[in-house]
């Protein structure tokens, strides 16, 4: 049991183009998955958090109930099954109809999967906001949609930002499951390198170091963004002379 | 005198608790109506029903003769005409003072940004908060927040402004500032309905005082009548707690 670090370094240099292609795809899948997942989560989380309004007409009431039911099923299914199995299942199920590649299927699966987690994060974020915020918006005559977009979402995203950012970290790592449908991300590329030179421990060591580097950089960026979001505008407050 | 809000046979219950039981009253243009009564008498619920933040179980609310529960008047249009100032201020935490005063104008009244800003600054000046326009709304004291909340409501050019215990969450030294603003608005002829525990203020500023007890209007009339010659025993009992100290 030993790792030849010198050999590992050589392998890294020799196969840099393969690794860098894998890194690019891993980042692409992680970022697209997180951003599209967040948008899906905002929509589905909001649908789940919207309270029933006694002023709603009967069709609206039915639609709201139905939407909640569908979102509930979505979250239940995508959180309750492994992403790798979802990827395989939907890739083969829909390939005859859509004729899609593993690449496009993978982008959609990781987004939809992340959306299910985001739905719960956003729902929690929305429910943690004081009811007075939406009451004040209502009292000005704002619609539910305007209230959500201008008042509730910005606060919910701010409050849940650390958890949202965590999903990016998760996605950098979990995108490796998409190798099952031939997505050439970092794990897939590393495995082909390992297979070609039979230096398994060295290559997987390299792979771990790269993953750690990616997640560390992502964490640093997320922390910087979080600091910026939390910095409330400071203004010199003049005592008024009126 | 033109009637702005007419409440007829209003009923509301929460579970087994009948909070409002057959309430009838009106708010006329230019009038200042204060609603007093002990906690749990239904004052705040009544005010929240007028703005449809609570949906009544029975009865009608007419806005200039139109039943607002009939759906003939879009709810958002109605609400933009009936302003509300809350006990807990409810300034938008993600907006500055100025943005708080602009958003309703832009989103609901469809005013241009420039116009909205100009009107917002006028009303902020009216409440003495113009120097805080760019401050984050979360950084203000309670009294300052409430004055901004009043400016925010005024920016919508409301036909009537509802105040739900506007000074109850304030430190005693802040109460005066807010009441002063409200007093000025009353003098300018703004139509107002105020739920309050500030009896001296109610006496000074009201055209009409409504005393509520256990979900009904027990007595109403001029401030002189209610505060100096109340007819009902429960009104006397309630007021004695404030004035016989």
For the whole model, what pTM was predicted?
A: 0.85
pLDDT above 70 (res A234): no
- According to DSSP H, which parts of B188-222 are helical? 199-205
Residue A232 pLDDT level (bands cut at 50, 70, 90): low
pLDDT digits (tens, 9 = 90+) for A100-146: 999 999 999 999 999 999 999 999 999 999 999 999 999 999 998 99
Q: Which of B61, B83, B94 to mutate to test the interface with A (most CBs of A within 10 A)?
A: B94
From the list B52, B88, B107, the residue facing A150 with the nearest CB is: B107
pLDDT digits (tens, 9 = 90+) for B205-231: 999 999 999 999 999 999 999 999 999
Q: Are B100 and B63 in contact (CB under 8 A)?
A: no
d(CA A208, CA A206): 5
Q: Which helix (H) or strand (E) covers residue B101, if one does?
A: helix B97-107
Contact B90/A136, CB-based, under 8 Å? yes
Contact A130/B90, CB-based, under 8 Å? yes
pLDDT digits (tens, 9 = 90+) for B176-215: 989 999 999 999 999 999 999 999 999 999 999 999 999 9
For residue B95, list chain A residues with Cβ-Cβ distance below 8 A: 151
pLDDT digits (tens, 9 = 90+) for A156-202: 999 999 999 999 999 999 999 999 998 888 999 999 998 888 888 88
Q: Pick the most confident of A68-82, A228-242, B70-84.
A: A68-82
B71: left (phi > 0), else alpha (psi -120 to 50), else beta?
Answer: left
For residue B86, list chain A residues with Cβ-Cβ distance below 8 A: 132, 135-136, 139
For residue B52, list chain A residues with Cβ-Cβ distance below 8 A: 55
d(CA A64, CA B223): 48
Contact B92/A232, CB-based, under 8 Å? no
d(CA A237, nearest CA chain B) in Å:
6
From the list A55, A132, A141, the residue facing B104 with the nearest CB is: A141
For residue B55, list chain A residues with Cβ-Cβ distance below 8 A: 54-55
The answer, for B97 touching chain A at a CB cutoff of 8 Å, is no
pLDDT above 70 (res B81): yes
Tell me the CA distances in angstroms from A127 to A138, A141, B85, B86, B183, one per residue in order: 17, 21, 23, 20, 37
pLDDT of the residue at B244:
62
pLDDT digits (tens, 9 = 90+) for B102-146: 999 999 999 999 999 999 999 999 999 999 999 999 889 999 999
CB-CB neighbours of B140 under 10 Å: 19
Contact A139/B84, CB-based, under 8 Å? yes
Residue A210 pLDDT level (bands cut at 50, 70, 90): very high
pLDDT digits (tens, 9 = 90+) for A117-128: 999 999 999 999
For residue B129, list chain A residues with Cβ-Cβ distance below 8 A: 240
């Amino acid at each position: 049991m030993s790792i030849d670090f010198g050999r590992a370094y050589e392998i890294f240099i020799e196969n840099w183009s393969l690794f860098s292609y894998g890194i690019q795809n891993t980042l692409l899948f992680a970022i697209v998955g997180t951003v599209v997942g967040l948008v899906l989560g905002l929509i589905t989380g909001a649908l789940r958090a919207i309270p029933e309004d006694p002023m709603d007409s009967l069709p609206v009431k039915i639609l709201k109930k139905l939407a909640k039911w569908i979102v509930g099923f979505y979250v239940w299914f995508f959180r309750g099954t492994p992403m790798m199995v979802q990827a395989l299942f939907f890739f083969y199920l829909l390939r005859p109809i859509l004729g899609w590649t593993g690449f496009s299927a993978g982008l959609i699966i990781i987004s939809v999967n992340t959306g299910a987690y985001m739905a719960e994060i956003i729902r929690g974020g929305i429910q943690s906001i004081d009811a007075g915020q939406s009451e004040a918006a209502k009292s000005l005559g704002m619609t539910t949609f305007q209230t959500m977009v201008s008042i509730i979402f910005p606060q919910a995203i701010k409050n849940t930002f650390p958890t949202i950012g965590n999903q990016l970290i998760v996605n950098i790592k979990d995108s490796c499951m998409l190798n099952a449908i031939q997505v050439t991300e970092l794990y897939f590329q590393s495995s082909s390198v390992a297979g070609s030179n039979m230096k398994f421990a060295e290559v997987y060591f390299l792979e771990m170091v790269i993953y750690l580097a990616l997640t560390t950089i992502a964490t640093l960026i997320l922390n910087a963004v979080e600091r910026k979001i939390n910095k409330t505008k400071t203004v010199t407050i003049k005592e008024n002379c009126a | 005198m033109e009637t702005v809000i007419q409440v007829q046979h209003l009923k509301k219950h929460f579970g087994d608790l009948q909070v409002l039981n057959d309430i009838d009253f009106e708010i006329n243009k230019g009038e200042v109506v204060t609603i007093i009564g002990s906690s749990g008498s239904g004052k705040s619920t009544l005010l929240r029903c007028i703005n449809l933040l609570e949906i009544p179980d029975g009865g009608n609310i007419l806005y200039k003769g139109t039943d607002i529960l009939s759906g003939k008047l879009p709810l958002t249009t109605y609400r933009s005409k009936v302003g509300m100032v809350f006990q807990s201020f409810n300034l938008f935490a993600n907006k500055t003072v100025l943005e708080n005063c602009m958003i309703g104008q832009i989103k609901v009244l469809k005013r241009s940004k420039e116009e909205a800003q100009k009107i917002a600054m006028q009303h902020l000046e009216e409440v003495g908060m113009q120097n805080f326009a760019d401050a984050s709304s979360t950084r203000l004291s309670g009294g300052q927040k409430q004055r901004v909340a009043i400016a925010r409501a005024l920016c919508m050019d409301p036909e009537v402004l509802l105040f739900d215990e506007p000074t109850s969450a304030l430190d005693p030294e802040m109460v005066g500032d807010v009441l002063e603003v409200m007093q000025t608005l009353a003098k300018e002829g703004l139509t107002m309905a105020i739920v309050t525990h500030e009896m001296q203020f109610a006496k000074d500023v009201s055209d009409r005082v409504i005393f509520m007890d256990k979900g009904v209007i027990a007595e109403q009339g001029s401030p002189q009548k209610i505060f100096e010659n109340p007819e009902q025993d429960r009104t006397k009992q309630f007021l004695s707690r404030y004035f016989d100290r």
